[in-house]
A and B are shown apart, each in its own frame.
Chain A
């Protein structure tokens, strides 16, 4: 599966293209822990251009946390490099952090501090700090500003973290699964703020999330981590253009074992034989090839439907070209 296949005029610069415009640039990253024979991350290369929204997806344990720690300069890569704003993350962390807003997956603020106290503390550290903005956003999110951080719910903690992250007017927002634990209302408020920030400042965003419906609406580009490798790094547009679910009947052969042969032009990811016919997830769809496919002898009642990002995600992380019978 091509990781850099890029179609559509609006796709951000392909990964691997060096350039100072990349806010985040990861090159040949390798992370290995002594207790694991297999590297936690290997051969990771991608970049996030200025102004784009990059969604880093992957199942739990795929190495996301290690990647983010490396990116933030909190962990030294075993090999390779992570760069923020063109400078090595490990070496220039202190300076880079003035321009980065972080919403961590595990809230790390001191539990006894209130949101107001946290804002006052941060105000001493950043070159510019919008304390009033924090108050406004917390009110918008309906999160109390005078409750100790440790007493807030997980969702409220994320919202406090977001309010703090936005107050320094960052050039890069790093959102590590920020919507985890948010209810529908809080989630809507969260995205509302994020959209406002993107519209007003064009902030570059790197986010990880399990909320694929949310990602689908925000991301320009998607990277998928699997088993420590970046198996996909592609613009969302091209990704959605090439994945389809095909449903059709096959009257040319009675042997179910040979079903799916006719899909060769589409790079089938998954083929299921069902009672009514064949269902296939394909990763290399285009309209003209489909027109030829419908005209194939024996192919009847063929229809193609779009896949949501979640379905693509499952298809990518499932067995490669797995065949199963339902």
Chain B
């Protein structure tokens, strides 16, 4: 300590002229109003701006200059031996030199500001927040500039072959760190909406480790390199890159760990499940276990466990037979996701379903619909262009029609009414149909249940509150909702009035499930409105025999897997009666389970445990 202070004092005295220079430079702006044409308030403004510029210059230049010279010049001029042949520890030499550079940089900036503070004090204090954090940032910046200038100067001026390694490792580790950060940011590992704009977060989590690494490297450089320029550079590089690698490798490992999440790692999937209309595939999206706030999404086969990873998507469209899936996947910028995306495709009936890219790009929130055979795709973009593609060659969809819908009312829903006709339900007004071969739009009166769900729900649910509707096979429609404080299930069999109306007893919430077996509909009821632990446990699944109009069995804590999905609309996607997909439920812990309605056996497919 004594030694460090002696070294620091000596180094500061050596550079006292720089401090004097800073003080004198501080007086320069005071002369600005004397310049011709600058008088009065204008002159005072010029004085203030000049002073501001000058302070900034000195604040940046001093740490750069003294950081670059305070140690490196002694090494290159072979004068560091003066200290090393004295009873001074390497730590004293290092700390003394660093302290001197820091003191000169900080006092230089302060001295240069004195004249301005004397004359323009009020204004200067108003312009700058000199409270705690601002001072800390000033010191942090100064230290960063000092340490950075020293490091770069060492690499450039010690002239050893290490420089080649420096470039290589800087590029390599820089790439590793950038890619890891990118992967973590894009994977939502950090909740950047909360942290990205916090300067404190940036200052501490990015600058502090950087400064610490640079300082540690410069210390080892002095302690181990001593007066030997080559060894000095070697020690600096080895420490700098070693520590950087020590930070980069865990970061890369973390990025890999976060990116390696599989469906089994998902927790709290209950709001991100979409069930294919047939077969055993579901879309799962949720947080992943032990990976910060990172999320992941998959197409998942509940029978085989096979999965396809989805990277940011707006929703999946399945073909009616559940054998094909299409979705738009987000394009990625370097550190942010873009809202445009490329269409991707997966053949779910192949031996190893995989995600295939296509050359169709648009906003990821575009609406998608697959034709009944899955060979045609309709895409409705937000600019009201409706395009129809032929998916004969999935990687290169062929556009067979594109219609601008702007002369027509704003569309709300699209679906294929036939293989070569797309029905469009506008938000208001009558239904339209696009005839694909002729590319003609025409109004249609046909009330195709498949094409008009919103209107249907409204029409069919009557005075039920929070109605939900599922289209069952054979043109039957199930609607569930609340009447007064009691749940009610309506079943339509072609007519416009319910063929059956079944009272399910008191409930505050009701979720309509699918046809778990032909003629048997699952409905989940909850007496509580909240979404806490107690409420989750309070769900009761009733299996209703629609013919007998009675509840044949009930299961505690279960509700339909897609019942809470974030893409839920009043119209729930339909599943084939008795298909594996119709038997998927969430239990009270949030786990995805398969229910065997005959035996009541529940098989946990994915652990819950939020």
Contact = CB atoms under 8 A, between A and B. Distances in A.
A69 B227 contact: yes
Contacts of A69: 81, 227-228
B547 interface: no
Interface string A239-261: 00000000000000000000000
A95 B86 CA distance: 9
B440 interface: no
B88 A112 contact: no
The contact size tier of chain B is 20 to 34
Contacts of B80: 108
A75 B226 CA distance: 7
B601 interface: no
Contact of B231 (A76, A102, A106): A76
Interface string B207-233: 000000000000000001011101100
Contacts of B6: 121, 124-125
Contacts of A317: none
A100 B82 contact: no
Contacts of A74: 81, 84-85, 226-228
B15 to A, nearest CB: 10
A97 B14 contact: no
Contacts of B87: 94-95, 97-98, 125-127
A109 interface: yes
A75 B84 CA distance: 10
Contacts of A8: none
Interface in B461-503: none
B17 to A, nearest CB: 10
B82 A110 contact: yes
Contacts of B227: 69, 74-75
A158 to B, nearest CB: 14
Nearest to A165: B85
Interface in A66-111: 69, 72-76, 93-95, 97-98, 100, 102, 104, 106, 108-110
A125 B90 CA distance: 13
A100 B78 CA distance: 19
Given A121-B10, A125-B6, A108 B88 contact: no
B449 interface: no
A157 to B, nearest CB: 12
B228 A94 contact: no
A109 B82 contact: yes
A108 B78 contact: yes
Interface string A98-140: 1010101010111011000000011011110000000000000
B574 to A, nearest CB: 75
A34 interface: yes
B122 interface: no
B86 A108 contact: no
Contacts of B193: none
Interface string B70-89: 00000000111110111111
B79 A110 contact: yes
B161 interface: yes
A125 B5 CA distance: 10
B72 to A, nearest CB: 15
Contacts of B230: 33-34
The contact size tier of chain A is 20 to 34
B21 to A, nearest CB: 15
A125 B92 CA distance: 11
Contacts of A102: 85
Contacts of A113: 10, 14
Interface string B82-103: 1011111110000000000000
B2 interface: yes
A37 to B, nearest CB: 15
B231 A75 contact: yes
B84 A72 contact: yes
B3 interface: yes
A93 B2 CA distance: 17
Interface in B343-383: none
Contact of A94 (B81, B90, B161): B90
A97 B230 CA distance: 23
Interface string A212-236: 0000000000000000000000000
Interface in B13-27: 14
User: Of residues B84, B85, B224, B230, which shows the largest number of chain A Cβ atoms within 10 Å of its Cβ?
Assistant: B85
A39 to B, nearest CB: 16
Nearest to A102: B85
Nearest to B82: A108
Contacts of A95: 87
A114 to B, nearest CB: 11
Contacts of B79: 108-110
A100 B231 contact: no
A48 to B, nearest CB: 17
B3 A125 contact: yes
B95 to A, nearest CB: 13
A98 to B, nearest CB: 4
A97 B82 contact: no
Contacts of A106: 78
A72 B82 CA distance: 11
Contact of A34 (B3, B90, B161): B161
Interface in A38-56: none
B228 A75 contact: yes
A76 B230 CA distance: 12
Contacts of A76: 224, 226, 228, 231
A124 B90 contact: no
Nearest to B10: A121
A125 to B, nearest CB: 5
Contacts of A104: 81, 85
A18 to B, nearest CB: 26
Given A75-B226, A112-B14, A125-B3, A93 B81 contact: no
Given A75-B226, A75-B231, A108-B81, A122 B10 contact: no
A186 B422 CA distance: 108
Contacts of A97: 84-88
A94 B14 CA distance: 24
A108 B85 CA distance: 10
Contacts of A100: 85
A125 B78 contact: no
A302 to B, nearest CB: 51
Given A73-B226, A104-B85, 7 more contacts: A74-B81, A74-B227, A75-B226, A108-B79, A110-B79, A121-B10, A127-B87
9 contacts: A69-B228, A73-B226, A74-B81, A74-B226, A75-B228, A76-B226, A110-B82, A124-B6, A125-B3
Q: Which 4 A-B pairs have the closest CB atoms?
A: A98-B87, A108-B82, A124-B6, A102-B85
